Structure 1
Amino acid sequence: MKKTIFALFCLSVLSSVSSFAFQGDLDQGIYELNRGAFKAAINEFEPLVAQEYSPAQYQMALIYLNGYGVKKDPNKAFELLSLAASQNHPDALFSLSLMYSDGVIVKKDLKTAFALMERAAIRDSVAAQFNLGVMYFNGTGTYKDYPKAARWYETAAKQNYALAQFNLALMYFEGLGVEKSVEMSFVWNIIAASNGYENAGKSRDMDSLKLSNVEIAQAREKADRLYQQIIEQAELKAKQ
């Protein structure tokens, strides 16, 4: 038993070392990609793809999808996204979900789109968390479930995703999936507006018409505290 545990530990260490080594090449590839040096980026990514490194598979999928330095090849992009998604790469799962939702590159399949979006959301893709909330709200690929929609909006909102903050405010305003609260609608609209979402500013002003001056002052204090917590959490996450 001890030998088995030791062997597994060794494999874990080797895997960590490999991932660390790959990360440097991946970062260089992303740097080249961002500055428009597509061939140089591809030269960094392709050896990693050969090693089945999912972040590189995802980056190469984007290259084929957009035709960066290569001829556009949506089918190749789909293949690479599928490979990365099979390793639970969050962004690949999210992108693949959108493909199944749109039904352009692959046959439209909303149930598969939902399943992929859920996997991405569980793995902390904020965009997926928001989209999963939308899918629960509309019953896309699943049943309508306002409480679950609200919970996923809140999960993304607390990671400073403005659209989720705005949608969560709407849920509070209408009392969908949460207890109706104009105050909490006001709070989340303040935060979403602080993140530059224009419609939230308009909704915030509408909310204020339904609140007393005392309630507005209390809600602003609550919004300030919550927003500060969100920013601090984001900074902490960025350091990890």
Structure 2
Amino acid sequence: MLYSNILSLLALGALTTAAPRQEVLGGPDEGQFPIPQPLPFNATLPGVNYNLIAKLRDAPNAIARIAMLDDKDFFFDFISPPLDIAGTEFQGQGGRFIVASGINMPGLVDNGMSMAIGFTKACGFNTPHTHPRATELALLVKGRMISEFVAETGARKIRNEHQPYSMAVFPQGSLHLEFNPDCGEAIFVAVFNSEDPGLNTPAESLFMLDDDLVGLALGLEFLPGADIDKYRHLVPASLAQGVESCLSKCGISKSEL
């Protein structure tokens, strides 16, 4: 039963997956349902001004930091963001996120805040994830949104339905999701109490571990590592598009995914 349930979940992931823009792991079948490639050892993020950020962090006080920056460093345009800087945009078939953080808006360095706007398409589903270094406040400004989170093992699930100008709170480290159950676009603004909130998608992260250990974690120790690898590409990427009832209501064919 456990084996069947897990394979069913992975198969559902195939319906809800969207391809992000990051480089993905190789393999002939993995391009359709990619897993973001981790940053290699000693690598750098494209477009990030490492020297400026280091100087800002070493500055003795805020006055010195402000003196290093131009006026434009305290300004961020979510409609025309700096897409040449890594971590600014995360995109999938279900929509996209634009993120303002310390790496693309230097004025945020040492201010302990960042912000993102999620533009979700019809049936857009921001798959379960955590922010390891921040609590999130998510304010819906257009459409309708379903939110859920589990703060930690042993805590009950929290679920709410949001109309425009209602807000959800996702405690730091909690596993949470957002879903647009309607046929029009939904937009929400997310604020974090860290300039580097981080992102962890447990499904993708689990399948980055050693195959044998993944099998043990899923209770599939009897499933060969090669078979686990067959389902690795079915893990959904962030901002996937899915949930069959919504797709049917909105006239979206699975073949369009």
| TM-score bracket for this pair, using the shorter chain length | under 0.3
Taking structure 2 as the reference length, the TM-score comes to 0.24
The higher-RCO structure (CA 8 Å, 6+ apart) is 2
Give the TM-score normalised by the residue count of structure 1: 0.26
* Higher fraction of helix: 1
Give the number of the structure whose residues are more often strand, by fraction.
2
